[in-house]
Chain A
């Protein structure tokens, strides 16, 4: 879980930060996190 929000923080290259959710990336980077929610559902 540590730092999971960091996987969806982006910075466009002129320095402005943007955030978006990328489920694919979260699943790839944090399979445990995904498995936890899968188990809950």
Chain B
């Protein structure tokens, strides 16, 4: 049996498989796979790319590139585009990597607390609310095939943006003993659902048996804004609906100043929170145009009070483990810088939310908040005079540890929207 198993073909096959896996896991192949699809370099700065000893550059690409071992440094000399044409083993044409040398990106770091109020595109069904009618509970919406997490985008073939508009349509349909026609965007497809309204003898009005959410609000932090266009980025992570955890589509929204009136300190397994009161048009005012994975973007209507010194935005590979600070508000509207230590940076050549892990070092912040708390999201992280990222997540079990995203991806998201 054993002799049968170890046939010559099988042994050769196993050795070939071992060699293939070995080559696949080797450093040169791993580095070739890690070479990004495109590279952006700010003028006057350089980026470091993973490089493979099996690769070489064609003569046309050599100018601004310095190869040393397993890394290649690309210098941003003059603004424009060029191609890195690579060759495998010096002769086989391999990949072409476009390099774009951009003007350095400067933004004014924020840190101010802000109230965020958004109206979602459509109404998110958050719960069933059975209707007490004719002596029993009924679920007309559930019976009509509406699921929790669905988004109602039309009522009687017209777009709907507020729960009040839906309630009015339901009352009208109920009085006429007609069904209300809902256009529902499910997780996969759009469909029309006809739902009959029932008279609730508990609440004395017509109901269809669902609770919906037409907006979201909360306290976040301004990350940075452009000193010329006043376009801003804030929050660092998307506003998600409470049920499906997917980013909500923003129909309209605004940001306003917030006064921090209290702090609930975080403890293990109980994240803390800033308590904010929205203020008038004195400080921060603006719209919300987009809600993406790196937070919200929009335009401020006027420059926030305080110094407006622009700082360069770091590329992900310019961020290193070591001391840094975050800017945030703990009382009133006054921003302060607090010391943190970046423990780990995650190499990224494409946008991804988990960029860096940091630990709060500052005793003032630790004593007042326990570390990172809700409402701090979007607080800019500054290192070596550059805006490197924004606070996005806190570890529930260790509130002194937090995650941040790279500021560069927030700039990219802002410029695309």
Contacts and interface: CB of A to CB of B under 8 A. Distances in A.
Contacts of A12: 237, 240, 377, 392-393
B216 to A, nearest CB: 8
Given A20-B354, A24-B344, A25-B357, A10 B394 contact: yes
B65 to A, nearest CB: 30
B391 A17 contact: no
B376 interface: yes
Interface residues of B, number: 33
A17 B269 CA distance: 12
Nearest to A24: B344
A10 B396 contact: yes
Interface in B369-395: 372-378, 391-395
Interface residues of A, number: 18
Contacts of A16: 240, 242, 245
> Taking chain A's interface residues, is the majority helix, strand, or loop, or is none over half, making it mixed?
mixed
A9 B403 CA distance: 12
Nearest to B268: A6
B44 to A, nearest CB: 32
Given A18-B245, A20-B354, A7 B395 contact: yes
A14 B271 contact: no
Given A6-B397, A7-B397, A7-B398, A13 B392 contact: yes
Interface of A: 3, 6-7, 9-18, 20, 22, 24-25, 28
30 contacts: A6-B395, A6-B398, A7-B397, A10-B393, A10-B396, A11-B271, A11-B374, A11-B394, A12-B237, A12-B377, A12-B393, A13-B235, A13-B236, A13-B372, A13-B373, A13-B375, A13-B377, A13-B378, A13-B393, A14-B216, A14-B218, A14-B239, A14-B240, A14-B374, A15-B374, A16-B242, A16-B245, A18-B393, A24-B344, A24-B357
